[in-house]
Amino acid sequence: MCLAVPMEVIAINDKIADVEIGGVTRQVRLDLIDAAPALGDFVIVHAGFAIRRMDRDDAMETIKLFQEGLGLELI
Amino acid sequence: MNSFDAFKDPKLCRALLDRLLAEADQPLRFMEVCGTHTVSIFQSGLRSLLPATITHVTGPGCPVCVTHESEVACFLELAKRDDVIIATFGDLMRVPGPKGKSLKTAQADGARVEIVYSPIDALAVAAANPGRTVVFLGVGFETTAPAVAATIRLAREQNLKNFRVLCFHKLVPPALEALLADPETNIDAFILPGHVSAIIGAAPYAFLADRYHVPSVITGFEPLDILSALLEIVAMRKSGQPAVVNAYTRVVADSGNPVARAVMDEVFVPVDALWRGLGLLPGSGLVIREAFADFDAMRLPGVTLPDAPPLAGCRCGEVLKGKMAPNECPLFDKACTPATPVGPCMVSTEGGCAAFYKYKLDL
Ligand code: SF4
């Protein structure tokens, strides 16, 4: 039940967004989110609420750091 | 490659694992305190690949499992009332209470129990059943509590008179403190729950390093997240400089989510709370504030927290403290299996016993 999953925002209507992952769509509430997501953003969804926007640039940066640290070629 | 999928990249994981194998030269007992971490560590196969020096211990990270015997007895009593509909996350359905009763058996006995995916769905159940009181079972940590708080606010906005929450929410940091204060737990490091931290941020964990000198890393749920957290822990132990590190910055801000916390603080207030296995922990639970008393199921006439004995033979308490591995419980895989669960740790898919059962058997 702690499960929280990243889903992509495909529509926003005031405090409710449609989100999608792997062909499954849901409606989630945005009451709890601290930075409004834009279309195409991924948000972490838990119990019908978006709780955080995922930072794609930060994710990219983290992966780059791993690759550099481990001497692997960059993606 | 999708920037998020890269966190599963086998080549990268292998390289991190090799580094961990090379560097983990002293024994390390690390605990994770999140059901999703438990499942991920087993499911990814990581548990069997870790260096022999590293021991993975699951802690009290399954909210269904830490719900106290008295709390289970309380909601089972409530379910018996003719004028009540229980709305709950599905995980609570088979949690055993006194005399082998559960919400599932209550339902067979005529109780009305609705499984919902979100507390918001319980509002619709209330609107459709004006003659009854719909009681949502508020179970979960800081990830879930803000969602339930927001739902209570919506119930007020919608002027719903027949919606209430039985609030048994619990807070993670006080449980970690209780574990470290117990000299028998022997925890060298923590992997901290990513989505609880998305709400509370890093500051509430500072005492882990400052007072107990236990290195701790907030991390995500992909194999890469967990491996890099372990590498970070190994490095902190080598340098003798324990800290609380946020390695899940793609989701967790150091300051957490202030909007979600404000909603939670508006509706709930911390109190001492009972945890299965851990007992009464100061400031570790949430109750509904006076201002929202009309939405509090605990304030319905006749509702109490009854005394309830621990489940006979079940060692969930020890499992939740990391003092006993599930397969050391005498009932594990004998009287107790996912098909015939004796305790909540075998019921919930995020429970330590269930994860052990599911993945251990085909290692
Ligand atoms: S194996 Fe079953 S009886 Fe033993 S601790 Fe786990 S849930 Fe309880």
Structure tokens belonging to residue B177: 């403190």
Query: In Å, how far is B185's CA from the nearest CA of chain A?
Result: 24
Structure tokens belonging to residue B191: 């992997």
Q: Which parts of chain A have pLDDT scores under 70? A: 1-2, 70-75
Query: In Å, how far is B187's CA from the nearest CA of chain A?
Result: 23
In A, which residues are within 8 Å of B144 by CB distance? 1-2, 46-47
Q: Is residue B209 a contact partner of residue A16, using CB atoms and an 8 Å limit?
A: no
Q: Which residue has the tokens 């397969």?
A: B327
Position B2 scores a pLDDT of 56
| CATH number 1.10.10.10 is the correct assignment for the domain at A5-70 | no
Nearest CA in chain A to B121: A48
Position B10 scores a pLDDT of 83
Which of A33, A46, A63 is closest, CB to CB, to B195?
A46
- How confident is the model over B311-348, as pLDDT tens digits? 999 999 999 999 999 999 999 999 999 999 999 999 98
Tell me: pLDDT of B120 over 70.
yes
Calculate how far, in angstroms, residue B184's C-alpha sits from the geometric centre of ligand 1: 20
In A, which residues are within 8 Å of B228 by CB distance? 66
Does residue B357 line the site of ligand 1, with CB under 6 A?
A: no
Mean pLDDT of B57-81: 96
> For chain B, what percent of residues have pLDDT higher than 70?
98
Ligand 1 atom, smallest distance to B324 CA: 5
Distance in angstroms (rounded) separating the CA atoms of residues B135 and B298? 10
Does residue B65 line the site of ligand 1, with CB under 6 A?
A: no
Amino acid at A35: A
Position B363 scores a pLDDT of 45
Can you state the percent helix, strand and coil of chain B, rounding each to 5? 45, 20, 35
Does residue B336 line the site of ligand 1, with CB under 6 A?
A: yes
Tell me: pLDDT of B39 over 90.
no
Q: Is residue A46 a contact partner of residue B237, using CB atoms and an 8 Å limit?
A: no
Position B1 scores a pLDDT of 44
Does residue B96 line the site of ligand 1, with CB under 6 A?
A: no
Query: In Å, how far is A53's CA from the nearest CA of chain B?
Result: 7
Q: Tell me which residue has its CA closest to atom 6 in ligand 1.
A: B353
Q: What is the mean pLDDT of chain B?
A: 94
B249 with A62: Cβ contact below 8 A: yes
Position B57 scores a pLDDT of 93
> For chain B, what percent of residues have pLDDT higher than 90?
87
Does residue B317 line the site of ligand 1, with CB under 6 A?
A: no
- Per-domain boundaries in chain A: 5-70
Mean pLDDT of B141-162: 98
Mean pLDDT of B274-282: 96
Q: CA torsion angle for B147, B152, B156, B162 (degrees, to 10)?
A: 130
Full set of structural domains in chain B with CATH: 5-59+176-246 (3.40.50.11750), 64-171+257-299 (3.40.50.11740), 318-362 (no CATH)
Distance in angstroms (rounded) separating the CA atoms of residues B289 and A1? 25
User: Could you report the predicted ipTM of this complex, rounded to two decimals?
Assistant: 0.91
Position A16 scores a pLDDT of 97
**What is this structure's pTM?**
0.94
Calculate how far, in angstroms, residue B309's C-alpha sits from the geometric centre of ligand 1: 15
